[in-house]
Structure 1
Amino acid sequence: MNNFITVLKERTIKHTHQGEQLESVLVTPDVSGSFPAVLLIHEYTGLNKVTLGHARRLARTGYAVLAADFYGPDNRPKNIDEARTAHRIYRDDRLLMRKRAQACLEVLTNQPEANSAKIAALGFSFGGGAVLELARCNEQFNEKDAQLAGTINGAISVYGYLETTHPAAYGQIRAKLLALHVENDPVVPEKHAEMFVKEMNEAQPDWSMIRIQNAKHGFANPDDTAFDPILAEKAWDIILDNFNKWL
């Protein structure tokens, strides 16, 4: 993996969840076959050019990537105030967040370009919280058999929400987890990190947390004032290294 691929193909996939029209984007290498796959969930601002940039970066290293659309084209935020309103629907209802993430994962597993036995999830901020919620309900994984549709091998959260209203019980999380947590993050405060550590210690999945110092929430987003290109590259090295191991 990590062979750099210059030519990609993209297609918009229209799907519905609970009556809402969604338009996710599948990005893959422009060659035939199926690939290890990544479900990519956007920040609270929605599916935009930053998310698509992340998807293309992953696809160039050999992955089939579904840039998931949580909001739908009719509800895509036009500004920060709309984004705050849109994301609260899911941040305040974690079971709905899980169901939406599962619905997007099902779309990915149904694509011929995606190897359904090798799927991981990646999210930034809002999306990081969503992939952790997805992992918390990832109970059907069976390491001895081919992976069942609707499950993931691992999930990476980059400055994502760490708290949850429905913490995992012992043995519930089958996916490998990695959380990249920004210290002194007002969006994801230390008390939430402590809650996450406690939850993980009790649930006992294969997990780790990397605490990032001297950074701000949004450091991997080129459109954010907190963007730090050096830290962003380090984060991408970590992401790709773990996906290589997991998939």
Structure 2
Amino acid sequence: MMSKIETGYADYSDGKTTFEAFVAHTGGTEKRPAVLVAHQWAGQIDHERSRAEQLAEAGYVGIAIDTYGKGVRGTPGQDNGALIAPLMADRALLRDRLMAAVAFAKAHPLVDPSRIAIIGFCFGGLCALDVARTGTTEVVGAVSFHGIYPQPNLGPQAPIHTKVQVHHGWEDPLAPPQDVLALAKELTDAGAQWQLNAYGDTVHAFTAKGMNNREGGAQYNEIADRRSWQATLLFFEEIFA
């Protein structure tokens, strides 16, 4: 019998801005690993919240985080460039907001603070990678789904201690093969333990059910969605053991 999933919202801050997390777990008092879910460019919406609930079903505390600010959301399927642009232009600001979410997770009463990971979709994939790029030892795993890969350029890259898993649609126009190879070199040069799963005949947004804009380079792919999620759960079993 599956345990009942408990969900709720909680505010947190980076000292400047208030953010709103969606938290899912199965209750009780036992501490367990936490997985942060970083959002795509529309902000924290049902997709991220449903992933947090899936993570709770798997035995973790699932936390859909927020990098825009409480109440700041875009529109799924529309151009949300005005929301993402300030954070892409100021990766130090993005880093600080992401690490505020990590601090929130560490302080949660059901979370084992030594077992925290982050996943992310599209822009959230970049967020997951940027957490790893901080050189933190507080986040043991980072998973990017159809992410984008530009480096933050915040000075010399620190050694990466976070284990990294990347799920990539090989025909994704937002991250062509040269970007993937550059990411592989970056992770290797930083001493990261990393894994790349590339999916053929697959473009951007392959986990977004209902997305059907192949001409525009974004389309749901059931096989890539299922295989990438299975691989992610296996990754967590390993790093949280």
Q: State the TM-score, normalized to the length of structure 1.
A: 0.88
Q: Single out whichever of 211-220 and 79-88 deviates more from structure 2.
A: 79-88
Return 5+ residue gaps in structure 2 as ranges. 213-218
Number of aligned residue pairs: 234
Q: What's the CA shift for 1:18?
A: 4.8
What does residue 29 of structure 1 align with? 26
- The equivalent position to 1:108 in structure 2, one of 98, 102, 105, is 105
The one-letter amino acid paired with 1:120 is A
Percent identity between the aligned chains?
23
- Counterpart Cα distance in 2 of 1:99 and 1:5: 36
What does residue 200 of structure 1 align with? 187
Q: What's the CA shift for 1:39?
A: 1.1
Deviating beyond 3 angstroms after TM superposition, the runs of 4 or more aligned structure 1 residues are 78-82, 167-171
Q: What's the CA shift for 1:35?
A: 1.1
Matched, 1:243 2:236: yes
Quick check: 1:12–1:25 contact (8 Å CA) kept in 2?
yes
Q: What's the CA shift for 1:8?
A: 0.8
Quick check: 1:123–1:156 contact (8 Å CA) kept in 2?
yes
- Counterpart Cα distance in 1 of 2:28 and 2:181: 44
Quick check: 2:160–2:187 contact (8 Å CA) kept in 1?
no
Q: What's the CA shift for 1:169?
A: 5.5
Quick check: 1:138–1:152 contact (8 Å CA) kept in 2?
no
Q: What's the CA shift for 1:170?
A: 7.0
| CA distances 1:67-126 after superposition (whole Å, capped 9, x unpaired) | 101112332113655622101211222222211110111111110111111111111111
What does residue 216 of structure 2 align with? none
The one-letter amino acid paired with 1:93 is D
Quick check: 1:36–1:63 contact (8 Å CA) kept in 2?
yes
- Counterpart Cα distance in 2 of 1:31 and 1:236: 26
RMSD: 1.9
The one-letter amino acid paired with 2:131 is L
Helix, strand or coil at the partner of 1:40? strand
Helix, strand or coil at the partner of 2:195? strand
What are the equivalent positions in structure 2 for 1:205-216 lying under 5 Å apart?
Answer: 205-216=192-203
Shift in alpha-carbon separation, 1:167–1:132, aligned structure 2, 3 A = farther
